[in-house]
Amino acid sequence: MWKGRFEGDTSKAVQKFTQSLDLDWRLYRHDIRGSIAHARMLGSAGIITAEEADLIVCGLEAVMTEIELGRLQPSDELEDVHMNIESRVIELFGPIGAKLHTGRSRNDQIATTMRLYMRDRLLDQRGAVLHLLEALLNRAEAHLDVVVPGYTHLQQAQPISMGHYWMAWFEAFSRDMRRLASAYDALDECPLGSGALAGSTLPLNREATARELRFSSVSQNSMESVASRDYMADYHHFASMFAVHASRLAEDLIIYSTQEFAWIKLPDAFCTGSSMMPQKKNPDVLELIRGHTGQVIGHMVDLLVTMKGLPMTYDRDLQEDKRGLFASLDALDGVLEVLPQLLVATEVDAEAARAALDKGRGFALATDVAEHLVMQGIPFRDAHFKVGKLVKHCIDENKAFTDLSFEELKTLVPEADKRTMDIISGPDVLRRSVEKRNTFGGTGFTQVAARIRQAKDHVFGVGEALSSERDRVRPRW
């Protein structure tokens, strides 16, 4: 394509080194879609005739069919997806096909193709994250009344509703959904018509192209249009945070399903066995979810390091922006396929959770005792000290809270009364502890149930908006 400037042929080694077909051949549908819109704009603007535009569109549609039927295989000599498609159109229509690239550069062409491709992929991932949120709501409703240990520093801290636990992850992944929506919004402008960097002397109708491709707006600066990869960085940020959240959730479930904890029951269909040890049930799916996270974070760093020293505008380094991006897209697709299914089939052994709390000798109720003393007018630090001494006494005497007599309690905490005794002994003390944590956003069953109701309405609204957006942008060919 640059024979006019060069005398010799490009070295075979250079062709091999500079080709990007291993990266961009997957973009053929979106590249053809952008080219169809460009050809129609050229025809409507009078830059080529309407008949020429129609022939070029027919040629592009024919190339699409050839690729999808496996009849057209890419050639490394043509470097990339763009030149392979254009070359085939020229083979079909000769000089008319050669008019396709009028008024554009591969710089604005790939910027447009990538935005179209990313728009489709991000729409699909937004739907997949929505399914994950629905799975978490499903578990939160199912386990609302189940009391389990809550942990800080991986030490038993306070009893909580398991529904509250699932909703904690709902909140985290909801923020990820907003990050993904923001990345989607960032790419929703059309760079086609920016040319190599400075626009064109031809009377291009960029607004018409944007409408044809269903972008919400046209990019404002031709230089920045071909230089920017911000929307990719926005996606990488979402992907990294999502992967971190998925990894932490996976770690929780791995730990709580061990024989030492044993109150989470993972589905057999999402675990594997051992090639040597017949008794093993390994949480391999969760471990692989955890394992993907380093790669996803690495791909974000890869792009940022590539971008940090590049001058305006386009530099060939940017050809490599797709490698890590595609890897992260594919990795998250895999996680989003298995994680919701795994969660919906995950159960809680309420008796084992209760046994775990009992093994903690009731000390998870220590804060309840301290706060009861506070309500009697004792400064919190004094109450904290007194209850700490009570816990130390039980440890020294190898006792649980429930083993203490009222007289023993009064000796250690003179301000204690019968209500204090009710906090640490009697039926359903753990459930009553959870019920009393009724501050907004707390683990009290009423609070959790209210948040689930709100979240279900929110998820329904997000689903409706997502469906409308799909109808707006998805091509009808």
Tokens of 77: 């000599």
Please answer whether residues 447 and 439 qualify as being in contact, where contact means their C-beta atoms are separated by less than 8 angstroms: yes
Asked, for residue 245, whether it belongs to a domain, the answer is yes
**Statement to judge: residues 21 and 129 lie in one domain:** no
Helix residue ranges, H only, 146-229 = 162-186, 206-213, 222-227
Please answer whether residues 5 and 29 qualify as being in contact, where contact means their C-beta atoms are separated by less than 8 angstroms: no
Digit-coded pLDDT (tens) for 279-301? 999 999 999 999 999 999 999 99
> From the candidates 153, 174, 228, 240, which is the catalytic residue?
153
Asked, for residue 397, whether it belongs to a domain, the answer is yes
**Statement to judge: residues 418 and 468 lie in one domain:** no
Q: What is the C-alpha separation between 104 and 47, in angstroms, rounded?
A: 12
* CATH number, position 155: 1.20.200.10
Higher pLDDT residue, 14 or 357? 357
**Statement to judge: residues 116 and 250 lie in one domain:** yes
**Statement to judge: residues 162 and 25 lie in one domain:** no
Q: Beta 264-265 vs 347-348: how paired, if at all?
A: antiparallel
Please report which confidence band the pLDDT of residue 18 belongs to, taking 50, 70 and 90 as the band edges.
confident
**Statement to judge: residues 398 and 467 lie in one domain:** no
Asked, for residue 262, whether it belongs to a domain, the answer is yes
- Reply yes or no on whether 153 is catalytic: yes
Q: Residue 190 in 3-state DSSP?
A: strand
Asked, for residue 441, whether it belongs to a domain, the answer is no
Asked, for residue 447, whether it belongs to a domain, the answer is no
* Residue type at 172 in one-letter notation: A
Please report which confidence band the pLDDT of residue 2 belongs to, taking 50, 70 and 90 as the band edges.
very low
Which residue, of 67, 102, 137, is where some domain finishes? Answer: 102
Please answer whether residues 424 and 402 qualify as being in contact, where contact means their C-beta atoms are separated by less than 8 angstroms: yes
Please answer whether residues 217 and 187 qualify as being in contact, where contact means their C-beta atoms are separated by less than 8 angstroms: no
**SS3 per-residue string spanning 253-267:** HHHHCCCCCCCEECC
**Statement to judge: residues 196 and 310 lie in one domain:** yes
Q: What's the maximum distance between 2 C-alpha atoms anywhere in the chain?
A: 102
Domain around 44: 12-102
**Statement to judge: residues 194 and 328 lie in one domain:** yes
**Statement to judge: residues 172 and 244 lie in one domain:** yes
Q: What is the C-alpha separation between 435 and 418, in angstroms, rounded?
A: 19
**Statement to judge: residues 71 and 137 lie in one domain:** no
Asked, for residue 207, whether it belongs to a domain, the answer is yes
Q: What is the C-alpha separation between 407 and 357, in angstroms, rounded?
A: 25
What's residue 426's pLDDT?
79
Please answer whether residues 174 and 119 qualify as being in contact, where contact means their C-beta atoms are separated by less than 8 angstroms: no
Please answer whether residues 289 and 339 qualify as being in contact, where contact means their C-beta atoms are separated by less than 8 angstroms: yes
pLDDT at 1 over 70: no
pTM listed for this prediction: 0.94
The residues near 45 (Cβ < 8 Å, ≥ 6 apart) are: 202, 203, 204, 205, 208
Q: Residue 84 in 3-state DSSP?
A: helix
Please report which confidence band the pLDDT of residue 13 belongs to, taking 50, 70 and 90 as the band edges.
confident
Asked, for residue 5, whether it belongs to a domain, the answer is no
Residue 145 backbone phi and psi in degrees, to 5: -90, 5
What's residue 476's pLDDT?
58
Question: In terms of C-beta distances under 8 Å and separation of at least 24 residues, what long-range contacts does 371-376 make, across chains too?
Answer: 372/419, 372/420, 372/423, 373/413, 373/415, 373/416, 373/420, 376/415, 376/417
Q: What is the C-alpha separation between 84 and 69, in angstroms, rounded?
A: 16
What's residue 448's pLDDT?
98
What's residue 477's pLDDT?
46
Which residue, of 102, 122, 137, is where some domain finishes? Answer: 102
Q: Provide the Cα torsion 110, 114, 116, 121; round to 10°.
A: 160
Residue 197 backbone phi and psi in degrees, to 5: -170, -20
**Statement to judge: residues 292 and 325 lie in one domain:** yes
**Statement to judge: residues 267 and 166 lie in one domain:** yes
Digit-coded pLDDT (tens) for 160-210? 999 999 999 999 999 999 999 999 999 999 999 999 999 999 999 999 999
* CATH number, position 16: 1.10.275.10
Give the start-end residues of each E strand in 53-119: none
Q: Provide the Cα torsion 236, 240, 241, 243; round to 10°.
A: 130
Average pLDDT, the chain: 95
Cis previous bond, 346, omega within 30:
no
Which residue, of 82, 102, 122, is where some domain finishes? Answer: 102
* Residue type at 374 in one-letter notation: V
Q: What is the C-alpha separation between 108 and 168, in angstroms, rounded?
A: 43
Residue 149 backbone phi and psi in degrees, to 5: -70, 140
If phi > 0 it is left, if psi is from -120 to 50 it is alpha, else beta; for residue 72 that is beta
Asked, for residue 147, whether it belongs to a domain, the answer is yes
When divided into structural domains, the chain yields a total of 3
Residue from 423, 457, 448, 450 nearest 162 by CA: 448
Q: Residue 147 in 3-state DSSP?
A: strand
**Angle (CA) 352 354 359, round 5°:** 90
**Statement to judge: residues 382 and 337 lie in one domain:** no
- Rg (the chain; Cα; Å): 31
pLDDT at 316 over 50: yes
Digit-coded pLDDT (tens) for 327-373? 999 999 999 999 999 999 999 999 999 999 999 999 999 999 999 99
> From the candidates 11, 217, 274, 405, which is the catalytic residue?
274
Please report which confidence band the pLDDT of residue 3 belongs to, taking 50, 70 and 90 as the band edges.
low
